[in-house]
Structures are given as structure tokens and as C-alpha cells.
Structure 1
Amino acid sequence: MKNFEIEFMTRTEVEEHLVKNPVMILPVGSTEQHGFHLPLGTDTILAKALARMVAPRINSLIIPALYYGYSWVWHKIPGTITLEQEHFKTVLKDIAKSVETYGTKLLIIINGHDANNQSLKYTVREMKYQTDMKILYFFYPNFSEIYKKYCESEIQNGLFHAEEFETSLMLAENDKLVDMTKAVKEYPDYPPLYSHTSEILGDISKSGVFGDATAAGKEKGQKMFEEFADEICKAVSLLTNNKL
């Protein structure tokens, strides 16, 4: 099987590949708690898994994943690593400038951590006038429809974390990293002024789960992965058909 991950390739292999297809994928995620049943690297592991599904289909290289994002809401919990939003944006910009230097024409960012989305949006906007390289970013495209199609549990207040969705994806990617005996269902009560204060999620949830992790299943995770990969490939095709 052809290798698409540059950390396992030589400089010559990377150079030769980019001459033929100047496209690279950057998986980004977080290092933060995901309940008592999932690993702290869940968001990044899932982003990497999706990148590995997409890369062969579009003949793209994969950059080593960024395991750190904006995780302030869990910062009190041991193991959490969080970057300030401006720092995170700066790292993303530096990566983009780096890969453009040697000829990359399209950078695809596959994000597995919801709290990164705002930083990603503004990073891509700010890079518009700093680079000629195209940048696409994705966070589980067409999420609402795909979630409804395969998941049973509801999402409250627009927040999901370590629940049916993420647990199903992790079961599909590596079920050895999931301890379903510790999976729980929790829909925490939010303080009345939550959206208007500096209250953190780590103080609201007892388990670290927002939703129903017990409803997770490996097969539904596999099917969702396939659909997300399809959505990303369709979007890339729309852009590349119009040239990079």
C-alpha cells in the first residue's frame, strides 16, 4: 500500500509526489479529556483516520497531525493541553506558509475538535491575502444529516462530546482504545448564565460526556467515516476541477 504520510517518507519522495499532485492534508485535533472511556487524543486520532481515508482517493500527502488546539474548557483536568486562540492561529499560518514554500497548491485541513472551528475560520480568512495557495477546512462535513442517519441519541444545546458520535467513530478506528464498560449517558445541567460567563465545561459535567456514549456502535462509526470521506472528496473535486 502506498504511503501518504510525510513523516514516514524521504525528502525525495515528498518532492516527487508534490510535482505530480501539489496537495497536502493537515489533521488537527486536541489533547483533552473524553470521558472515562476514551483517550485524550480522540479528536486528533479521528482526524488522522479520516485523513488516511481521503488521501489515497485524491492522491494527497498527509502532514503530521497537530495534537493541540483550543481546549480551555477542560484546562483543569490532568492531561489537557490548550493553546490560546491566537497562538493556535499562528501555528496554522506557519504550517500553511511552510508547505506553500515548496510548491503546495492546496492545503486541506481536517479538524476533529469543535472548539477549533472559530480559529480555523478566521485563520483561513486572514490567509486569503497572504498566500496564493488554496485552503479548505472541514469539520465532519454534512454533520447534521449524517448524524441523524446513523445516531439514536439527541444532541442538547448544540454540544456533543465523548458521546455516541465520537465513541462510534473511535470504535471504528480502534476499538482497543475504547472501554465501553465505562461509557455513560450524561446531559449536564447548564448554569442559567453559562453563555454569558467564564464557566467551564469541566465544572459542569461529572463524567466529561455530553450525550449518550452507551448508544455507540462500531458499524455506525464505519459508515459515518465513509460518508464524511465522501463529502470531503466531493468538495475537493469541485475545487480541483476548477483548477488550483
Structure 2
Amino acid sequence: MYVADQTWPELGDYVAEESVAIVPLGSTEQHGPHLPLATDHLIAEGLAREAADRTGYLCTPTVNVGVSPHHRQFHGTMWVDPPAFRDYVESFTRNLAYHGIDRVVFVNAHGGNVEHLREVGRRLRDDGTIYAVEWMWDESIPELVDEAFEHNGPHGGPKETAMIQHLAPELVREEEFEAARDGGIVDVENAEHLNRHGARTFYDAVENSESGVFGDQTDATPEIGAELFDAAATQLAHLLEWLDEQRIEDLLAPAHVDPQPGSRR
């Protein structure tokens, strides 16, 4: 169920029976010469809508711009400052709570959003407003992702390329695959300059990758993308169903381990 397609009485009927919502979030940022800036939010929205269709739970509109200043040197990248992003996400999640939702899954497809979504979830849980948890698609199927590609990559690599080949093939520039690979870092795990004496001495993607991407995109195919998409959507559906089964009292912040020290003396 997509919230923006419903009428208010229909949504009233939903919250009378259900209390779960799905919130997709991504970014609008460079993904190399072969993928669109929309990559992250297309993946997040695709998985969120698919899981909503499978389970019947409510899906909100997608947050298309995230925390992406580390890609700012590449043309077209958009971003918001972390405090603004956190406050915005927290504010509209409180809107959901006002309307009767008490548990939310942030379906996230952008690494730069992770720590901020976790912080928002903690704020909302600790004050007893709502239980909100961040979910990252590739972390739900790590073994499958690793098996699919010889040289995976965290950004613009074969896993994201395959997903967009499946979701929006018309937006993929396959003639740029080799340029993306050759201008980036193919073997991320063995790139010594990414870790100097235990420190990450860089802040922006352009400091490490001329093309803005990591991994070997030439391994990607739409067939692999379809397999990854289905597997991740299945994991998301299972998470939603598990979340729906929990008592809200068990999801919110536990009480102090000893609320009244010494009271039993």
C-alpha cells in the first residue's frame, strides 16, 4: 500500500488494523559514468514498494536526497547537512506516529545515511514515540553479494550496477563500464592507500577514485540484479513480518537496570 495513492479514510482503516510503515531513503549523487545519480533512491524505492506489495504494509514516499557531501566534487551530486537530514527524518517519522504508526523500517540504500538514521531511531525509541530501525539491502544478503562478483565495491560497483540493470535498464550506460572500472578502484580490500597506519586519511570519494566508483562493473548483469533484488526483498518482507509480531513494549527502550537502587534494603 502506497500512502500517497490512498484517501484519508482508507488510511484510517489501515491504522485501525496495522501499525507498521516502510520509509525508503536514498541519495541523488554521482555513481560513476555508467549509472544515474538516482541509483540509491531507485533501489530503495524499488525494494520498499516490492516489500509493501508482498506484505500489505504501508509505504511512504521516498527521500531522494541524503547525506552525500563526500561526493560533492562530482557534477550534479546533491546533499543536505547531517543535522538537517536527521531533523527532517525525525520530524516526518513523528508524523507517522501521530497517525497511529508505532514501528517503522527505514529502507536505506545509501551508506552516508546509515549513522544518521540510527541516531534518529535511537531518539525516537528512547523517548517512547516509535520504534524505527535502519535496514540496508546489501547487508541483508552479504553472502549472495560476495558470491556474485569477483570484485565487489561499496559504491557504483557491480552490485548497484546489476540492481539498476534490473530496475531501470534504460538508465545504465553499459558502454561506460570499462571506463568506470579503469578509472576507479577495482580491488577495494587490497587498496593500501585506503588505510594508512590504521587511519582513514581521506574524506571525499574523489581522493580515491577518478571515476567515483569502486569495484568491477563489467561483472554485472540484469539476471544477477534480479536475483539480488528478489533475495533482498524477501529479507525485507521477513523483517517487516517479524516486526509486526513484536510487542511494542519489547521494542522500546528498556527501563533502567535498577530504577530505585537500594529500595530493597
TM-score (norm 1): 0.89
SS in 1 for 2:168: helix
Q: Which of 52, 56, 67 is equivalent to 1:55?
A: 52
CA distance in 2, matches of 1:129, 1:205: 39
Instruction: Please report how far the alpha carbon of residue 138 of structure 1 lies from its aligned counterpart in structure 2 after TM superposition.
Output: 0.3
Q: Deviations over 1:51-103 (max 9, x none)?
A: 01100222111111001111111112221111222211111110110110010
Contact 2:103 2:243 in 1 (8 A): no
Partner of 1:181: 175
Instruction: Please report how far the alpha carbon of residue 15 of structure 1 lies from its aligned counterpart in structure 2 after TM superposition.
Output: 2.2
Q: Which of 130, 133, 137 is equivalent to 1:136?
A: 133
CA distance in 1, matches of 2:3, 2:194: 46
Contact 1:21 1:59 in 2 (8 A): no
Report the aligned-residue RMSD.
2.0
Contact 1:97 1:131 in 2 (8 A): no
User: Where do 5+ consecutive residues of structure 2 fail to align?
Assistant: 249-265
CA distance in 1, matches of 2:203, 2:93: 33
SS in 2 for 1:46: helix
Between 41-50 and 7-16, the greater mean CA deviation after superposition: 7-16
Between 231-240 and 110-119, the greater mean CA deviation after superposition: 231-240
Contact 2:162 2:221 in 1 (8 A): yes
Query: Do residues 107 (structure 1) and 104 (structure 2) align?
Result: yes
Contact 1:153 1:164 in 2 (8 A): no
Against the structure 1 CA distance between its residues 187 and 16, is the aligned structure 2 distance closer, same or farther, given a 3 Å change threshold?
Answer: same
Partner of 2:226: 222
SS in 2 for 1:211: coil
**Counterpart AA for 1:113:** H
Identity %: 24
**Counterpart AA for 1:205:** S
SS in 2 for 1:207: coil
Query: Do residues 234 (structure 1) and 238 (structure 2) align?
Result: yes
Pairing 1:9-158 to 2, within 5 Å after superposition? 9-140=6-137, 141-149=139-147, 151-155=148-152
Instruction: Please report how far the alpha carbon of residue 118 of structure 1 lies from its aligned counterpart in structure 2 after TM superposition.
Output: 1.1
Over 4 Å off, 4+ runs: 191-196
Rg larger for: 2
Partner of 2:204: 200
Instruction: Please report how far the alpha carbon of residue 163 of structure 1 lies from its aligned counterpart in structure 2 after TM superposition.
Output: 1.2
CA distance in 2, matches of 1:142, 1:22: 23
Q: What number of residue pairs does the alignment pair up?
A: 237
Query: Do residues 161 (structure 1) and 140 (structure 2) align?
Result: no
Contact 1:28 1:44 in 2 (8 A): yes
Against the structure 1 CA distance between its residues 219 and 196, is the aligned structure 2 distance closer, same or farther, given a 3 Å change threshold?
Answer: closer
CA distance in 2, matches of 1:239, 1:63: 17
